[in-house]
Amino acid sequence: MEEEITDQLPVNPQNFKSGFVSIIGEPNAGKSTLLNSILGERLSIVTPKPQTTRKRILGIHTTEETQIVFLDTPGMIKPRYKLHESMIESIRLSTSETDAIVLMMDSEKLYHKTESLEQNLAFKLVKDLQTPLILALNKIDLIKKEDVLALIDRLKTIYNFAEIVPLSAISGFNTSELLKALRAYLPGNTYFYSPDILSTAPERFFVSELVREKVFNFFSQEIPYSSEVIVEEFKENHLEDPSRKDLIRCAIIVETESQKKILIGKEGRAIKRVGQSARRDIEAFLGRKIFLELFVKVRENWRDKTNALKSFGYK
């Protein structure tokens, strides 16, 4: 992983710890919600649908005593497309490079599961990892306290977790306990990244993700899963004249003509709604006004085409 050591030194180097932590788990467990909650910024998109995150996202949490570089990853799934293989590869890469792993599980889902916990895909996948594994038992706001405690007792019998931290990512409840627990596994004592930055991804990336988030939120069934968003033009007009708005043109790629039709909607109403909602969030994220233009393109079967995936930035 590329490290950008800065000249800046921690205020109190004796007491400072730093390191890399990946967040992994099943789709929809709340990984991106956790990252956003810790950073206090909507860095990673969150939707009620599984498989929202597709590429790993780096989020840097810096305090006077610690710097934790988090990697939010796509949910663990059995691959059905080349796209999924790329998503799984990004989980593998993330876990091979970090000092600790947070395995996030949805406590409500686990509690109501009838199959044995050993059969769980996530537990199977982490079995052979050598890195310290911290279980974050999320969404405890949805089940009774005594059920959480019973679940923790069961989980202790199936895996020797370094720590188990029950929490609620959405409200931030107990996330400070997770941060405290992680500190023990951080090997560094200097900054990896400047303490002023939250992420390393370019603005373009966040823009395309925010548009994709709206596609996930506004459409059901296969449209979100068949869509990708590409920023085709990003004119930073504000650099020349602060009173001028930036112009951003995004292509939404779908797999079929009929999906294109649905995405555009009657008299363009559906895509207009996506555009308005995305523009508001992009402006809030960038802290400046923009013009956002959206258009739809068809690229058959892009999820299974190596070249298309490459051109969309998947490895």
Residue 213 or 255: which CB sits closer to ligand GTP? 213
If you search the block for the tokens 């996530």, which residue do you land on?
122
User: Residue 17, interface with ligand GTP (CB under 6 A)?
Assistant: no
**Residues lying near Mg ion in the complex (CB under 5 A):** 31-32, 52-53
Q: Provide the 10 A C-beta neighbour count for residue 255.
A: 20
Q: Is 277 in the site for ligand GTP (CB under 6 A)?
A: no
Residue 139 interacts with ligand GTP (CB under 6 A): yes or no: yes
Q: Do 293 and 250 form a contact (C-beta atoms < 8 A)? A: yes
Q: Which is nearer to ligand GTP, 102 or 296 (CB)?
A: 102
The number of C-alpha atoms within 13 Å of 158 and in the hemisphere containing its C-beta is 17
Shortest Å, Cβ 65 to ligand GTP: 26
Over the window 170 to 189, marking each residue x when it contacts ligand GTP by CB under 6 A and - when it does not, the resulting string is x-------------------
- Closest approach of Mg ion to the CB of residue 201, in Å: 14
138 binds, among Mg ion, ligand GTP, none (CB under 5 to 8 A by kind): ligand GTP
Question: Partners of 71 in the beta sheet?
Answer: 22, 58
Cα–Cα distance between 167 and 101 in angstroms, integer? 16
Which pairing describes strands 100-106 and 228-235: parallel, antiparallel, or unpaired? unpaired
Is 19 or 30 the residue whose CB approaches ligand GTP more closely? 30
Of the candidates 138, 132, 135, which has an alpha carbon nearest to the alpha carbon of residue 186? 132
Among 22, 66, 138, 208, binds ligand GTP (CB under 6 A): 138
Structure tokens at 241: 């004249």
Residue type, 264: I
Q: Is 98 helix (H, G, I), strand (E, B) or coil?
A: coil
- Answer yes or no whether residue 86 interacts with ligand GTP by CB under 6 A: no
Q: Does 200 bind ligand GTP (CB under 6 A)?
A: no
27 touches ligand GTP (CB under 6 A): yes
Stretch that binds ligand GTP, among 43-51, 145-153, 233-241, 301-309 (CB under 6 A): 43-51
The 3-state DSSP class for residue 253 equals strand
CB of 31 to ligand GTP, least distance (A): 4
| Least distance CB 123 / ligand GTP (angstroms) | 16
217 lies in the site for ligand GTP, by CB under 6 A = no
Q: How far is the CB of 173 from ligand GTP (least distance, A)?
A: 8
Judge residue 215's burial from the number of C-beta atoms within 10 Å of its C-beta, 0-12 exposed, 13-18 middle, 19 or more buried. buried
Report the residue number, 229 or 270, with the smaller CB distance to Mg ion: 229
Out of 17, 42, 43, 52, point to the residue binding ligand GTP (CB under 6 A).
Answer: 52
Shortest Å distance, C-beta 300 to ligand GTP: 25
Closest residue to ligand GTP, Cβ-based?
A: 75
How many Cβ atoms are within 10 Å of 287's Cβ, its own excluded? Answer: 6
Find all residues with CB under 8 Å of 242, minimum gap 6, and list them.
Answer: none
- Per the CB < 8 A criterion, the answer to whether 70 and 38 are in contact is yes
Strands in 66-72's sheet, in edge-to-edge order, are 57-62, 66-72, 17-25, 100-106, 133-138, 163-166
Q: Which residues bind ligand GTP (CB under 6 A)?
A: 25, 27-33, 46-48, 50-53, 74-75, 138-139, 141-142, 168-170
